């Protein structure tokens, strides 16, 4: 059992303690605890805080792409709907999952020393 790095936790949905793929129960929702080692994942309250922030970034990026496409190819309006709507949703959900995994992994790393030491000299 080796602890995976924060990036591996985030990108592959791994448990930050044992490395099992047990971090998520839904697409971007954490499982209450790790199926493999029993780590209490509900203790890490990352929440959906990054969601609004990510939506703004993704929105700005998609708007830029849409304007570039319109100016270069001038496609019919429904091309924009078919292209940007699913792409926006996928980009927000995908980045939300990674951001939440990363936050949990970093919080786990910060917490672990105090759990293991637990006493002051």
Name the site residues for Zn ion (rule: CB under 5 A): 15, 17-18, 20, 34, 36-37, 39
CB of 15 to Zn ion, least distance (A): 3
CB 33 within 8 A of CB 104: no
DSSP 47-95: TTHHHHHHHHHHHHHHHHHHHHHHHHH---HHHHHHHHHHHHHHHHHHH
CB of 79 to Zn ion, least distance (A): 45
Q: Which is nearer to Zn ion, 23 or 28 (by Cβ)?
A: 23
Q: Which is nearer to Zn ion, 20 or 66 (by Cβ)?
A: 20
Q: Which is nearer to Zn ion, 17 or 97 (by Cβ)?
A: 17
Name residue 53's beta-bridge partners: none
Crossing angle of helices 77-117 and 49-73, rounded to 10°: 150
Q: Which is nearer to Zn ion, 34 or 96 (by Cβ)?
A: 34
CB of 112 to Zn ion, least distance (A): 13
Give me the sign of the Cα torsion angle 21, 35, 101, 108.
negative
CB of 118 to Zn ion, least distance (A): 21
């Amino acid at each position: 059992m080796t602890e995976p790095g924060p990036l591996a936790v985030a990108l592959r949905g791994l448990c930050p303690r044992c490395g099992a793929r047990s971090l998520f129960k839904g697409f971007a929702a954490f499982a209450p605890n790790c199926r493999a080692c029993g780590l209490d994942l509900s203790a890490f309250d990352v929440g959906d805080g990054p969601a609004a922030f990510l939506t703004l970034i993704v929105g700005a990026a998609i708007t830029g792409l849409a304007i570039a496409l319109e100016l270069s190819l001038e496609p019919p309006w429904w091309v924009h709907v078919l292209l940007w709507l699913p792409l926006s949703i996928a980009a927000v959900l995908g980045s939300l999952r990674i951001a939440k995994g990363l936050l949990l992994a970093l919080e786990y790393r910060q917490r672990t020393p105090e759990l293991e030491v637990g006493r002051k000299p």
